[in-house]
Amino acid sequence: MPYKARSSVLAAAALSALVLSACGGEGDDSASDSGMNLVSEGTLTVCSDIPYVPFEYEENGEYVGFDMDLIKEIASGMDLNLEVKDSGFDGLQSGTVLAAGQCDLIASAMTITEERQERMAFSDPYYDSLQSILVPEGSDITGIEDLAGRNLGVQQGTTGEAYAREQAPDAKISSFQSDGELFPALQSGQVEAVLQDLPVNLEHTRDGEFTIAAKFETDESYGFAMSKTGSEELVSAVNEQLAALRDNGKYQEIYDKYFTE
């Protein structure tokens, strides 16, 4: 099944958070008594940088995507309601939103790195990703060696930015806050190429005007991030739910919904 198409922004997109009913939350053994130290009793509060198709985006006034569908199942399995807050990626990857008590968990296609592990605790990996270069159809950029002296766009604070600065030091690199600003920069010609996660770049090839010039194996895996201290029980519960979703086939069902070879 192909990726879900980018949806139009509805009036509801102005809301910074949408409350999603992940479950009835009527059980006596809810997380409020489990020592998880949740921001809101009975609710798993999640921060995410939206949109980042196909992992998190908005459709018909609801947050959907691979990460969002997974986290809905995880919250439901924990007998918790779910609240999602749209947050900038810089505040996510730095762990600032967790330190400020804005959310319990970050679900935002975030790569597990040693540097981030110094600031946050991570769940077991739930997705392996490649990096890639996206260019307009017909571009003479066919590999990272062609980026020298060229205008290259990346998303600020991502592993894609770090990879670009290391592997393409002679490129003219511009950082953008989100893919919502990065891709329009490519469309307008402000940058000549975009280097970021392959699944997100693939989404931009659907109309035939852009193509993947190169892919890179970087051994990256995504994880759900939580507070470095006091979240041991939450990390354990999330990992239990991830394992259960793999065992019962729900993980594969969600994966097949958003990704294709």
Beta bridge partners of 17: 85
pLDDT given at position 35: 76
Contact 187, 218 (CB under 8 A): no
Separation between Cα atoms, residue 55 and residue 49, nearest integer Å: 10
- The pLDDT tens digits for 243-257 are 999 999 999 999 999
Q: Domains of the chain, with CATH numbers?
A: 11-126+223-258 (3.40.190.10), 130-220 (3.40.190.10)
Average predicted confidence (pLDDT) for the chain: 88
Strand residue runs (E) in 65-104 = 81-86
pLDDT given at position 34: 59
Q: Is the pLDDT of residue 25 over 70?
A: no
pLDDT given at position 31: 40
pTM exceeds 0.75, yes or no: yes
Q: Which residue has the higher pLDDT, 207 or 126?
A: 126
Amino acid of residue 112: I
Q: Which residue has the higher pLDDT, 31 or 152?
A: 152
- The pLDDT tens digits for 192-244 are 999 999 999 999 999 899 999 999 999 999 999 999 999 999 999 999 999 99
Strands 120-122 and 225-227: antiparallel
